[in-house]
Structure 1
């Protein structure tokens, strides 16, 4: 069942979303060559403690999965999603997605950003930048009366027109007093299809875009890490979005959030 949030719920979601984004702000200056993803995870845990938030991922265990062992996900280079922090130092040229979900007063805020570690290749920079734009092409479609298929179609059309592919196995999701609620928000699809958007709905838009083919596979046996099958680079950005009476509001914005692409305000 898809939930809609009342004024109090929207306020709770705004607070949780901002705090999740502020964890990423806090981590930003630390993400440079030599730091390990485990150290990033520890910094995030300390930041959440100071905020009075808790990590939604630590100990998270959907059916068929082992409990997730960290306070956030760190997906490096060809890791598509759910990368578990470890002791391998990041090196110059790496790209890493850091995905944070916090819980504040029972409400969940979920967001992720790409980080460039030192100087990265033009191809890696282009992938990260166009994935960010793809997410915003999806966000820009949000308004009452639009359909979830409109969001997926906008993302897919933009990504594929730039020579990239869209991962099919993972999608955005409703969010509120639960980490994952209905609806599923696909990042591909047909316009005019799937559920109609209504004011008060909150969900994530979080496209995973591959430089190569769209196919993915599980990596190793940790039960979580997903990589591109062809070992090509993958990028992801994520915002939590509210359907307003007239359009959309991004709930996971903070002082350090990158600005929307120019076409959003045009």
Structure 2
């Protein structure tokens, strides 16, 4: 069931979104060569404590998962597209890193992700990251009353495909509100003019997951959570939680 929320609820989601934005900022600053991934999770945990918020990721167990998720954030490196577990592995110069995080505060959720290179990064990696960021921006721009959900999805797909990239199989965003994952699903592939009509008060998370090789196939790794490109190519992932208003989309997880 799709829920439409009031301006008062938007503000409560914005409060949670500010926590998410702070986590992404602080974790990105800490992500240097030689830093263990679990240290990035510790940074997120500290922010959550200070903000008196909780992580909707920690102990989350969807039906397909072999065990509850063991961390506050997801940290995915290079060929890992999403759901990477921050463990004892150490960041290296030139790694492509995605940090995906959420926060629950006063009964409402925020969810966002960002990709970046450790250090300077190579030209191809920087281009992949920038294209994925632009795909998110273009999708958000189409999230206006009267448009269709397919307009949002098509913005992601067109941006990625036109740059020669792939879209991770089955990937996409979701509704968000009092739960991290709500209706409607927001696919990363679609056709303009198709799907449900967008209305004021709809709160969704849009999240392009783009593969460098142009192939879409993915595989779940042995940890049961991490999803990687089947061919080992790199992937990038950006996400924001937004609300559709009569004045256009408002990003709830902006800094």
| 1:28-63: CA deviation from partner (whole Å, max 9, x where unpaired) | 221110001111001110111011110110000111
Does the residue aligned with 1:40 lie in a helix, a strand or coil?
helix
RMSD value over aligned CA atoms?
A: 0.9
Question: How big is the shift at 1:234?
Answer: 0.3
| 1:10-40: CA deviation from partner (whole Å, max 9, x where unpaired) | 1111111111111111222211100011110
Distance in 2 between residues matched to 1:196 and 1:113, nearest whole Å: 28
Aligned to 1:155: 156
Whether 1:55 and 2:55 are equivalent positions in the alignment is yes
Aligned to 1:225: 226
Distance in 2 between residues matched to 1:61 and 1:166, nearest whole Å: 25
Aligned to 1:177: 178
Does the residue aligned with 1:89 lie in a helix, a strand or coil?
coil
Distance in 2 between residues matched to 1:151 and 1:87, nearest whole Å: 37
Question: How big is the shift at 1:105?
Answer: 0.2
Does the residue aligned with 1:50 lie in a helix, a strand or coil?
helix
Q: Runs of at least 4 residues of structure 1 off by over 3 A?
A: none
Distance in 2 between residues matched to 1:20 and 1:251, nearest whole Å: 9
Q: Where in structure 1 are there 5+ consecutive unaligned residues?
A: 255-266
State the aligned residue count. 253
Task: Please give the TM-score of this superposition, normalised by the length of structure 2.
Answer: 0.97
Does the residue aligned with 1:139 lie in a helix, a strand or coil?
helix
| Matched-pair contact (CA < 8 Å) for 2:54–2:103 | yes
Q: Where in structure 2 are there 5+ consecutive unaligned residues?
A: none
Task: Kindly report which structure 2 residues correspond to 1:75-94, keeping only aligned pairs within 5 A, or say none.
Answer: 75-94=76-95
| Matched-pair contact (CA < 8 Å) for 1:31–1:115 | no
Aligned to 2:12: 12
| Matched-pair contact (CA < 8 Å) for 1:138–1:155 | yes
Aligned to 2:249: 248
Question: How big is the shift at 1:236?
Answer: 0.3
| Matched-pair contact (CA < 8 Å) for 1:112–1:236 | yes
Aligned to 1:114: 115
Question: How big is the shift at 1:246?
Answer: 2.9
| Matched-pair contact (CA < 8 Å) for 2:135–2:208 | yes
Does the residue aligned with 1:133 lie in a helix, a strand or coil?
helix
Does the residue aligned with 1:54 lie in a helix, a strand or coil?
coil
Does the residue aligned with 1:20 lie in a helix, a strand or coil?
helix
Task: Kindly report which structure 2 residues correspond to 1:131-170, keeping only aligned pairs within 5 A, or say none.
Answer: 131-170=132-171
Aligned to 2:196: 195
Q: Which moves more between the two structures, 23-32 or 77-86?
A: 23-32
Task: Kindly report which structure 2 residues correspond to 1:86-105, keeping only aligned pairs within 5 A, or say none.
Answer: 86-105=87-106
Distance in 2 between residues matched to 1:26 and 1:77, nearest whole Å: 20
Aligned to 1:257: none
